[in-house]
Every structure is written in structure tokens, then in C-alpha cells.
Structure 1
């Protein structure tokens, strides 16, 4: 018989959070996770978050259900009386034992002629798929759900990547780099990300797609730093940037330095309110805009280097 658990959603005053969480570790209860109250801010570069230091945090607590739910709730009410007025029960729910139920959050998604799917996807869900990119979620950005990733993938399906030297800055989990490698780009595809977790996740996803170890050259660090710069290709036929509007502009010197004459640039991560700033900056630097896609507020530009001889 499947074990049932009770999931408690608690509101905990911030000045009580630390001691409450510490004492949970020696209690009959299991700490799930803590969600601080954040406010979403709109900035010139997209979005940012600010922590609200006054409102209560949300704490999720679990315990196995071995008696009637009301009896469990009564014991919890007695337990939190140790912090009078600081903790309240917001919600109680019966849930199945977690195990690998988190995998249900990650499902297959179709982008053009390609499907992006985690490796545990049921074969029946992909029976109509002609092309599959296997991507398991991890600590690096990039599952295929975000509009910027999907719009870049749609553009990549419209231009050939075969035999192109590809430089992917902000590679995350490697989804765009892997697509290029699978579709005949010159190997290695240069995959750069500032997040150290990206290296492991890209290696896992490369193996999931039966790519050899040399298919990607994974570079951890900021592409503007000299140590990273020295590892980049001297010229790239295709450069991918999916990092944010201001960051796209900051990378312009690298893009101009390394893009091949008539090379393609896919520029994303910007939002509709800084799109014009990013586009005009690149056009003034000699790039032509060939196409544009938008998913909600997120904008992706397909651009081409003018072919002017570089000095």
C-alpha cells in the first residue's frame, strides 16, 4: 500500500525562522523547503527580485500519515505553540510519498520539428516524434520550456548549422550547443557558461544524446575574461547569445572579434522594453537584422555580420 504523507504549509515569522528550522531537524517532522517572500521587480534589463524582510516566510513540512489527519493536525498545533503567535498553519494536504514524483514537473515539449524530452519520458508520448533532443534538468539553466530557448531553436531549424563553427555563450545545460552538434556543426561546439554546474550537466546531456566527449568544448567562466577568451575559436560562423539585454551588449566586443565574415548571430535574453537598445547597438556595429521572434515579453533576433573586412 502506498505510504501517504501530510504536507503542511506554514507561515513563519522571519525572526523565528532560524530557530524553528533548526528544531525541526530533531523533531518527528521532515523539513521540505523554505520560501522567503520575494517581490518581482521590473528593471531596464528585464526582471529582478527583492526580498521582503517583513512578511512571513513559507515553510513546507512533511510527516508520514499513521493515524487520522485531524489527530496529526492537533499534535502539530500543540508543537507550534512553543512559538506563540509566530507560526500558523496555512494549508494541510495529503500527498503520495515523494520518491521521484518531482519528475512529473518535467515533460516533453515540441519546438518546430524537434522534441525536447527528459530521458524518463514514456515512449508512447514520443511515438510521433521524428527528432528528439534528450535533456534532463539539473542545476544549470535550460530545460527547453523558456521562450528564448524555443525561439532560438526555431531559428536554428531555419538556417543550416552543418559544418559551422559554433560559439554558444550562456550555454547553460547545453541545449543549443547539443542541437548544433547533433545537426552537423563543426566539432567541437564551443559552449561557455559562467555557472560551474553547467559543465557536469552538459556532459550528462551529451551522453544522453550519444554524442562523443569531443563534441563539445565546455568552457566555464566569463567570455570577457582573458583566460576564457584564449579558449574561444578564432572565428565562429554562428554565435549564440542568450543571457540578457545588458549582457548581450557587454559581449559585443567578443562577438565582433570572433564572428566570421557573413557569420550569423542569434541574440536573445532581452525583453521588449530593451530590445531597441540591443538591436540598435548591434546594427551600429555592422550587423543586419534578418528576423525577430517574441514569446510573451522575451525577444530573439537573428542577425548577420555585414562581411566588412576587419582591421
Structure 2
């Protein structure tokens, strides 16, 4: 027996089988890590893009503590997935350090301006001198506080008075920006929108991590451009946060226009330097004035104000 080691199984799961598979495996001896689409990152003239294989299977990761030989464990898993009659297949088996804790080493505290973003398992000594802490566990939703776009958005937010502001956060991920706004006096609930179904759970977990009632954030899952989703958004917002990508920022312009209050503020990120001028021009033509700009590596974040 190998102590403190786990087997990590990479599975290919047909999309129509994903929901029943997840429901079943949660009651099984296996630990479900996460499910993700097969995505290829592309570099285009407009910045970065993501090509998702919408026809192929999704990728799932299961974990199991190592107790017998790898061969014995693998054989039992193959027998277990036979119930899905070929719709779930084993792609890869890896021996990894105990997944209960080892993966947490990838996520550490980070200082952004006067605030620290930290997972709940952070050593208290590392935060002894921290003035403000936002507790964020990454989970399955994007948003750890490490990315330059998130940090630049937070730096801009720290320059603003958020008291009483109606906030709409599109591309909320794990809720970093939404929860920061709640903690700094924004009108409740802050509306957090994301297309990832896992986002709702993670935002609410992080609200609890920060001693906030779940009612302080209204999580809306879906594409804000879809009428059924748009109907669930606040009628008017004083501050809209948009951190999803250059082309997506442009595509979301009608949504921003529909929900932006007169003279409201827009924080726009996910822009790369070679797509900056096009994105800003599109918003300027719609009546927004560029007020401030930040850049981290190739990533651009801007503050725009809606003109009367």
C-alpha cells in the first residue's frame, strides 16, 4: 500500500451521459474532481479565443485513495463504468499526491492593493498584517484572484466609492468582484451572472466564507444576451463589471446599454492590447467616455463612463 497517494482517473463522458453520471458518482466510492469541456485556446487577430468541441465528450476527473495495486484499482474502475455502456471511457490513470490537500498548494494568498485575496485554508500567520481579506475558494468556477484582469478590476474598484451602488457583474466566476462590492457597501443584492452552472454554488460558498448571507448576491446562470436571462437582471445598474474577453465585451454592448444607468460606470476587461482600440472605439461610439486604463502584461482593463 502506498500512503498518501491517490489515483487520478481522466474519463471521457458523452454529453448526454454527463448529468446521470455526475448524480451517480457522487454516491459512489470515488471522489469527483471536476467536469470540463474539451477546449483549445486559440490566438486570433482579436486576441485570445476558445474553441470548444461541442460535439465531442466532456472530460471528467475522478480520484481514489491508493490502497491496492494500480492494476487492481483500474480494473475495478473499468468494471464500474461498464454500466454506461461505452458512453464513459477511461483515458488516463495517474498516481498523484493526496488530492485532499495537495491541489490547494496551487492557490495561495495574493495582495491586490489594500486587500488580500486568500483561500480559507491559508496559514493565519501569512495574513497577520493584512488590513482587508476577501476569502475566495476557487472550486470549479473561474476566478482565483491571480489573473491580471481580475487584479486590475479590483484595483479600480478600490478607487471607487461603492456605497449604495447598484452593481451588475457579468462573468462573475467564483464571485471575487461581486463579493468585494458587497463588502464595500454596494446595494444588495449584487447581481452576479455567469454561464458556468458551477458558478452559483461557488459564489454562495464564498459569500459564506466572508460571513455574508446568501441573499447579498443574486446569482444568475446563463448568457446575459439571452432574453430569458436578461429578464432576471436588474433594470438599472450604476456600475457594470465585464471581464470575459474582447469580442465578448463587444457582443455584450447591447446588454450593457439596456441596463446601464445614466452616467453609470463600466469596468471592462479581458481585452488584449492588440484588440484594445477596436473594443474602446465600439463603446465610445455608443456614448461611453474612457476615463482610466490599466495594463498587466498584454491584458487591458478600462474604466468608461456613460454620457448623457
What TM bracket, shorter-length normalisation? 0.7 to 0.9
Question: Which string of whole-angstrom CA distances, capped at 9 and with x for unpartnered residues, describes residues 227-278 of structure 1?
Answer: 1111111111000000111111111111112111111000011111111110
Q: Distance in 1 between matches of 2:232 and 2:303?
A: 25
Match of 1:46 among 24, 45, 48: 48
Question: Which string of whole-angstrom CA distances, capped at 9 and with x for unpartnered residues, describes residues 265-298 of structure 1?
Answer: 0001111111111000001111010111111111
Question: Which string of whole-angstrom CA distances, capped at 9 and with x for unpartnered residues, describes residues 74-112 of structure 1?
Answer: xxxxxxxxxxxxxxxxxx99x754441111111000000
What residue number does 2:26 align with? none
Does 2:214 match 1:217?
Answer: no
Secondary structure of the 1:142 match is: coil
What residue number does 2:206 align with? 205
Q: Distance in 2 between matches of 1:203 and 1:282?
A: 32
State the TM-score, normalizing by the size of structure 1. Answer: 0.73
> In the TM superposition, what is the alpha-carbon distance from 1:225 to its structure 2 partner?
1.3
**Paired residues of 1:240 and 1:267 also in contact (CA < 8 A):** yes
> In the TM superposition, what is the alpha-carbon distance from 1:62 to its structure 2 partner?
10
> In the TM superposition, what is the alpha-carbon distance from 1:42 to its structure 2 partner?
1.0
**Paired residues of 1:4 and 1:65 also in contact (CA < 8 A):** no
Structure 1 gaps, min length 5: 9-31, 52-60, 73-91
Structure 2 vs 1, CA of residues 42 and 131 (structure 1 numbering), >3 Å: closer, same or farther? same
What residue number does 2:104 align with? 103
Secondary structure of the 1:173 match is: coil
Q: Distance in 1 between matches of 2:127 and 2:247?
A: 38
Secondary structure of the 1:153 match is: helix
Structure 2 vs 1, CA of residues 45 and 213 (structure 1 numbering), >3 Å: closer, same or farther? same
**Paired residues of 1:171 and 1:177 also in contact (CA < 8 A):** yes
Structure 2 vs 1, CA of residues 246 and 146 (structure 1 numbering), >3 Å: closer, same or farther? same
Question: Which string of whole-angstrom CA distances, capped at 9 and with x for unpartnered residues, describes residues 36-74 of structure 1?
Answer: x997531124144699xxxxxxxxx9996999xxxx9xx
Structure 2 vs 1, CA of residues 274 and 215 (structure 1 numbering), >3 Å: closer, same or farther? same
**Paired residues of 1:41 and 1:50 also in contact (CA < 8 A):** no
Q: Distance in 2 between matches of 1:97 and 1:214?
A: 35
Structure 2 gaps, min length 5: 9-32, 54-62, 71-93
Does 2:162 match 1:161?
Answer: yes
What residue number does 2:248 align with? 247
Q: Distance in 1 between matches of 2:154 and 2:148?
A: 10
What residue number does 2:23 align with? none
> In the TM superposition, what is the alpha-carbon distance from 1:5 to its structure 2 partner?
5.1
Q: Which has the larger radius of gyration?
A: 1
**Paired residues of 2:196 and 2:222 also in contact (CA < 8 A):** yes
State the TM-score, normalizing by the size of structure 2. Answer: 0.74
Q: Distance in 2 between matches of 1:5 and 1:64?
A: 6
